[in-house]
Amino acid sequence: MPTFPTLQLGHGDPKVSAIGLGATGLGVAFYGGADDCNVLQMLTRAADSGITFWDTADETIGKWFRSTGGRVEIFLSTKFGGKHLTESAENIWRPNSQPSYIKTRLESSLALFDPNLEGTDEVKCINSRIDLYFQHRVDPDTPIECRIGYLGFSDCGIGVLRRTKAVPMVGEKVIAVQVEFSPFELEIETSGFAVQVRELGITIIPYSPLDVVRMISGQYKSRVDFEHTDVRLIMPRTRNAVRVEENAKDTYLKLSSDDLKVNADVQGERLPAGFDTSNTSITMAEWKGETPRVKTE
């Protein structure tokens, strides 16, 4: 496998490829369809290029693991709790981090990833694990104090991160936080969040680095809604091997301070009204145990 630039997660923790492969677009309907053959070829090209930090799309990536036996090469992250994925849920869009639900989602993801558990004991151990597990959204009704392996949080406040770092035997495993960060969205810098996170020894993993949220806000419904000079017309999502090679080169791209300023001066809110979520949770002292979150007649 070729040498590809790497970055370290946390302090003294795993090293991962400097550019990761965000696979949400391979498994979420509103990003459009994806051809299985092209996607599997794209995943192979990513691995062969040294892009081995992969995030989500459990079913699709699981197919690649089973067809190639390449699980051992990949630093694998996925998420839980962004919404309540059971038929009886009272509100599927309400974050759920109750212990029993986390266990259910973890087992579901592992079943999709499991490439038959063949090989040596060491390989079997790698095949049957998730390297980095993200809480997709903070569940305000469930405390974040818990026990797990490498742990990350998505769209949470600095208070949540400080609390987790203070939990014995757990804090040292909190190595990553995923937040929106792009040339158009620099709130984590202007608010001081980025500095505080670095002081905690936690690595920031950006999502929507190309500002996808603005593209799905409803303002743009087809290609004809973009000006002919709009860069998004020539920046398709990463769903084939050619795009992987193009995007891999971005790790060597350096933007000047003037480049960053032009993009940072774009005005507007980060998310449409109603999309923002709570970024903290109750404490252990306030928690009364799991409560039913099912539809009632």
DSSP string, 160-205: HHHHHHTSTTTGGGEEEEEEE-BTTB-HHHHTSHHHHHHHTT-EEE
- 3-state class (DSSP) for residue 259: helix
176 touches 203 (CB < 8 A): yes
- Beta carbons of 6 and 18 less than 8 angstroms apart: yes
Residue 237: name the closest of 64, 40, 31, 59 by CA. 31
Domains present along the chain, CATH in parentheses = 6-230+237-264 (3.20.20.100)
Using the predicted structure, report yes or no on whether residue 219 has a pLDDT greater than 80. Answer: no
Residue 117 clears pLDDT 60, i.e. is over it: no
DSSP state of 13: -
Predicted confidence (pLDDT) per residue in 121-143, tens digit: 555 555 667 888 888 888 888 88
Does residue 296 register a pLDDT over 50? no
29-42 pLDDT, tens digit each: 444 456 778 889 99
